Structure 1
Amino acid sequence: MKTSNAKIMFFFCCSILFSACKKESGQQEADKEAPAKKQSNANATLATCCWIGTTNQANDRMEAYDPAVSSWTIPKWSFKPTTALGFNATSELPLWGDVNDVKVRNNNHWGSTQVIVAHGGRLSVIAKYPGGQRIWATGFPTDAGIHGIEILPDGNCVVAAAGTSAGTGGNYIRIYSSSQAAPNQYVNTIYPLTSAHQVLWDPSQNCLWAIGATLNKYAYNTAANGGTVSNPKLSLLMSYSLSTITPWGHDIATYDGDTNKLLVTTNGGVYVFSKSAGAFIPGAITGAAQRAFVNAVSTLPGQNIMVQTYKDPGCTFNGWCANHVDFYNLATGAFLYSRTVSTAAFYRGKSFDPNY
């Protein structure tokens, strides 16, 4: 009888143990699948470096592609504001369109390790990456002509407004207290800059760069300007003329491997700016990489590669788009390869680098 009871108890224990193991195994499999189910962009992961972040005006989406893949068919990540992501159907979504700038940044101010800052049409947004959930958004009048946007390390942001040929708006950069909780997240200050096209935070000099009719350098929240996180301020430190190169700036970017340099594009070409000299370096960009009307420039860190998107006459969607992104040797300017999406109308295609 004792032996029989012992056998029953043994099989009972084994049964419990087997059920527990099966449940744990099943939970582990569910846990493996959970991240993919939670992500609205199934292939997206936290950004390292570097995909290419593009602004596709043909479908009004931000899209990221892998430059190591020769055929760009399905993007690795994409974004467009929706009500499901928390954007307002009445006051925000109708303002979205003609996407023109996107950056991904390491930032945990809102409990997310990375965020994107983006602009399309008349709407600027900050959203969690990769999911795209709304953090902050603000709209602009039709003649603002926002072309560039940057998020600062503390969660505040800056936009560059070029204006439009049909209106008198724009021609400024504007800093917002986007880091703050509502209703204080829209405190802002405007600084004039004719045809402002792009802004870039520089951690090596703790300053903000902006380009338009001139290349400007600004201090952020210093004792001299009295700025605070809740009421952010800029101070113009220097304004550099573009007269030694060609007028009307389009884009600025870091220069891989040298924090003393900036890459700059204008209507007339691609250039390198020396921060210490306060001047453009003659002949720094040569070969096929030196061309006019480059809307976007960047580098792939550690690869000696420059990335460009330029106004391509072959793109008929509008007068400034391209359906491909081009890659060049950074040192020699020699053309390396292109990546094409035949249905796209890219305004910008840049290194999707989360680091400033």
Structure 2
Amino acid sequence: MKTLNAKIIFFLCCSILFLACKKENKQQEANKLAAANKQLNANATAATALASCCWIGTTNQANATMEAYDPVLTSWATPKWSFKPTTALGFNATTEIPLWGYVNDLKVRNNNHWGSGQVITAQAERLSVIAKYPGGQRIWATGFPADAGVHGMEILPDGNCVVAAAGTNSGTGGNYIRIYSSSQAAPNQYVNTIYPLKAAHQVLWDPVNNCLWAIGDSLKKYAYNTAASGGTVSNPKLSKIASYSLLSPWGHDIAPYDGDTDRLLITTNGGVYIFRKSTGAFIVGAGAITGAAQRTFVNSVSTLPGQNTMVQTYKDPGCPINGWCSTHVDFYNLTTGAFLYSRTVSSAGFYRGKSFDPNYL
């Protein structure tokens, strides 16, 4: 009897141990499955973020407002983000806000010089601004005379900035790029140096080659704060490395080319072009911009990261605001130049509509 009881007890212990092991194995499998699902979800989220990058930052001259829209949405009835200087954001009601008018250029950049992580550069008629993103709080601003015709602005990695002033048809101002010590604490934020460039329309920092590109009646490449320039952070300087003739007159915009850091996208009155940095030459023939994307008077150009998509705004004769804006932003296949779709705001007067990419710098 004792032997039978011992066998029964042994059998029960083995059964309990087996069931416990089976339960543990099931739990381990469940944990593995949960971990796998978590990774899949993370990958899906990352893929969605990549696919949806980026909003389109626009300069709406109809309401003097910087606006960002989601290109995935077919309706742009309400912007995802907007900005214009106000006293609540720290801008001066007498010396700064009255200078804000036709908005021309907008960029968002990763820059933690002021501890905010991201900033915008915003240029409108006679006022150039650096502000925190997304809140819009004032970091730096400076005004210009009425005939300066400032069209473009870029922030440098150290917090200094450069503006491009095209001049106006009726004035003698502009025709230069100007670098500012905007990184410095007051009152040393406005140390600056001017470099002549006829009809200067845009500037772009190149983080791969550590240089500045500027476009006007030609394309120019500058070194920043090198031994050749003799500059410092508190007294920044540029030195011209090279100058390149355009394929057609009067440059408008410069942008990085997604997927190839050796290329720049360039627009002029006469067309849309690809410039190869390593050779210092524009691509002609095979590989050049073709199809519907090749058109005249394109005010802005950019690409959507990871989507093989080019973004453009151009001089639209149907725009009700003025003779150079557009009511829509247009999207094209970057490789073939084929038209993809437009996003329209019938009341808008977009001068520029560009990829609003904070990961560029």
Q: What TM-score results when the alignment is normalised by the length of structure 1?
A: 0.86
Instruction: Note if 1:92 corresponds to 2:96.
Output: yes
1:38 alignment partner in structure 2? none
Q: C-alpha separation between the residues in 2 aligned to 1:194 and 1:225?
A: 21
Q: C-alpha separation between the residues in 2 aligned to 1:226 and 1:240?
A: 24
Identity of aligned residues (%): 82
Q: Write the letter of the residue equivalent to 1:272.
A: I
2:331 alignment partner in structure 1? 327
Q: Write the letter of the residue equivalent to 2:257.
A: Y
2:74 alignment partner in structure 1? 70
Q: C-alpha separation between the residues in 1 aligned to 2:229 and 2:109?
A: 26
Counterpart secondary structure, 1:94:
helix
Q: C-alpha separation between the residues in 1 aligned to 2:269 and 2:222?
A: 23
Where does structure 2 lack aligned partners over 5 or more consecutive residues?
A: 1-51
1:148-159 correspondence runs (5 A): 148-159=152-163
Q: Write the letter of the residue equivalent to 1:60.
A: A
Instruction: Note if 1:103 corresponds to 2:102.
Output: no
Q: Write the letter of the residue equivalent to 1:334.
A: A
Residue of 159, 167, 173 corresponding to 1:163: 167
Q: CA deviation at 1:52?
A: 0.1
Deviation digits for residues 226-261 of structure 1 (CA, Å, limit 9, x no counterpart) = 10000000000000011xx21100000000000000
1:127-138 correspondence runs (5 A): 127-138=131-142
Instruction: Note if 1:198 corresponds to 2:198.
Output: no
Q: How many residues align?
A: 307
Where does structure 1 lack aligned partners over 5 or more consecutive residues?
A: 1-47
Q: CA deviation at 1:225?
A: 1.5
1:227 alignment partner in structure 2? 231
1:255-270 correspondence runs (5 A): 255-270=257-272
Q: CA deviation at 1:316?
A: 2.1
Q: Write the letter of the residue equivalent to 1:184.
A: N
Counterpart secondary structure, 2:88:
helix
1:311 alignment partner in structure 2? 315
1:7 alignment partner in structure 2? none
Q: C-alpha separation between the residues in 1 aligned to 2:188 and 2:102?
A: 28
Moved beyond 3 Å, runs of 4+: none
Deviation digits for residues 182-201 of structure 1 (CA, Å, limit 9, x no counterpart) = 00000000000000000000
Q: C-alpha separation between the residues in 1 aligned to 2:144 and 2:62?
A: 21
Q: CA deviation at 1:224?
A: 1.6
Q: C-alpha separation between the residues in 1 aligned to 2:325 and 2:267?
A: 16
Counterpart secondary structure, 2:292:
helix
Q: Write the letter of the residue equivalent to 1:153.
A: P
Q: CA deviation at 1:49?
A: 3.0
2:243 alignment partner in structure 1? 239
2:277 alignment partner in structure 1? 275
Q: C-alpha separation between the residues in 2 aligned to 1:310 and 1:173?
A: 23
Q: CA deviation at 1:111?
A: 1.0
Residue of 335, 341, 356 corresponding to 1:337: 341
Deviation digits for residues 201-235 of structure 1 (CA, Å, limit 9, x no counterpart) = 00110000000000000000001211000000000
1:108-127 correspondence runs (5 A): 108-127=112-131
1:249 alignment partner in structure 2? 251
Of structures 1 and 2, the larger Rg is shown by: 2
Deviation digits for residues 126-150 of structure 1 (CA, Å, limit 9, x no counterpart) = 0000000000000000000000000
Residue of 141, 144, 147 corresponding to 1:143: 147
Residue of 174, 180, 183 corresponding to 1:176: 180
Residue of 61, 67, 77 corresponding to 2:65: 61
Counterpart secondary structure, 1:63:
strand
Q: C-alpha separation between the residues in 1 aligned to 2:157 and 2:77?
A: 33
Q: What TM-score results when the alignment is normalised by the length of structure 2?
A: 0.84
